[in-house]
């Protein structure tokens, strides 16, 4: 089997290896594949592994030998699933590999906004504590999270883990179901967010949840709410969020994702106050990336063994 890894440097910048795939055939791994090179690099391959390299119908039309596309991620919007169905190409993803790491990052963003650790560390390193007349000082109001309400929007595996950690911090969890319209025994979205001191987003990006946090929703929130987004950037209208941060309606916004990645120079969050922004690294611990590679290789192994559907995490 001929296998091409199209953009491997995100998952494996050099601290891991591709041995889990090499056991199945000849592997060619590229760090990044520019759009103009996709067809040439994938031509003649039986399987391709992609993270963000797109496979459109137009590209797939040029790849008659392709039988399998393994997405090295949970999201698979980079692949035209309908075209793959038409051509008999199996498409798989890795639905669960970063639960603990993403929950950890969500709480890290929250704690940074509550305790301002980075700000005070920088101040101490600049000598401010040495010059202080008092034994302590703080540069910004700090927040105790115990007793605060946190709306966890999307109670899948990651949201559920965040809820457990938040409870350990003494917070009151207001759970919103993974499917926003399903009220079941949990809170509706509007009920939860209007009661919340903190909102943490963990729902999938769908037409329903695109721009979920917008000017209209923000106007109904508590003054001084903190919002965390370690899910998908377009869940938040960034212009509306920037305005809310500048007015003080939102006291803090922490995100590991933005609407367009890499981030653009004109993103309004770059110049907004009280923000903590990390470059989509919730999934980046070595342990998490290793788990991702092994899981993606298991999908390919099961495909080679003739399995399909949920046995290989097939999404088409």
Single out the catalytic residue among 232, 238, 289, 291: 232
Catalytic residue among 22, 26, 261, 287: 261
Q: Quick check: is 178 catalytic?
A: no
Residue 154: closest CA among 192, 225, 210, 204: 204
Count CA atoms closer than 13 A to 53's CA, side-chain side: 29
**Degrees, nearest 5: CA angle 84-85-88:** 80
In angstroms and rounded to an integer, the radius of gyration of the C-alpha atoms of the chain is 22
| Dihedral of alpha carbons 94, 98, 100, 102, sign | negative
Is 291 an active-site residue? no
Q: Which of 161, 178, 280, 291 is catalytic?
A: 280
Q: Are 201 and 212 in contact (CB under 8 A)?
A: yes
∠ CA 97-93-107, nearest 5°, is 30
**CA 108 – CA 113 distance, rounded (Å):** 9
- DSSP 8-state symbol, 184: T
Contacts of 186 (CB under 8 A, 6+ apart): 155, 175, 176, 177
Alpha-carbon distance 111 to 143, whole Å? 9
Q: Is 161 a catalytic residue?
A: no
Catalytic residues: 232, 261, 280
């Amino acid at each position: 089997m001929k296998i091409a890894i199209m953009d491997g440097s995100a998952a494996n910048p050099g601290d891991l290896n591709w041995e889990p795939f090499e056991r199945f055939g000849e592997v060619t791994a590229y760090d990044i594949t520019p759009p103009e090179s996709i067809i040439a690099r994938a031509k003649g391959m039986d399987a391709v592994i992609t993270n963000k390299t797109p496979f459109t119908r137009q590209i797939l039309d040029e790849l008659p030998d392709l039988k399998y596309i393994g997405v090295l991620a949970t999201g698979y919007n980079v692949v035209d699933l309908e075209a793959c169905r038409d051509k008999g190409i199996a498409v798989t993803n890795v639905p669960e590999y970063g639960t603990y790491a993403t929950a950890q990052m969500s709480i890290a963003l929250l704690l940074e906004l509550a305790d301002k650790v980075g700000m005070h560390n920088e101040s101490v390193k600049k000598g401010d504590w040495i010059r202080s007349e008092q034994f302590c000082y703080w540069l910004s109001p700090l927040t105790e999270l115990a007793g605060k309400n946190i709306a966890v929007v999307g109670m899948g595996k990651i949201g559920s883990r965040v809820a457990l950690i938040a409870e350990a911090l003494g917070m009151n969890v207001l759970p919103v179901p993974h499917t926003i319209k399903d009220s079941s025994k949990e809170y509706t979205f509007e009920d939860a967010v209007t009661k919340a001191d903190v909102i943490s987003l963990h729902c999938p990006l769908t037409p329903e949840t695109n721009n979920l946090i917008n000017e209209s929703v923000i106007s109904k929130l508590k003054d001084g709410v903190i919002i965390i987004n370690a899910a998908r950037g377009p869940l938040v209208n960034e212009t509306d969020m920037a305005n809310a941060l500048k007015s003080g309606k939102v006291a803090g916004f922490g995100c590991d994702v933005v609407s367009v990645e890499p981030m653009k120079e004109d993103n309004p969050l770059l110049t907004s106050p009280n923000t903590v922004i990390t470059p989509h690294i919730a999934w980046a611990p070595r342990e998490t990336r290793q788990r991702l590679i092994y899981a993606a290789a298991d999908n390919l192994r099961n495909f080679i063994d003739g399995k399909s559907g949920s046995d290989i995490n097939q999404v088409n």
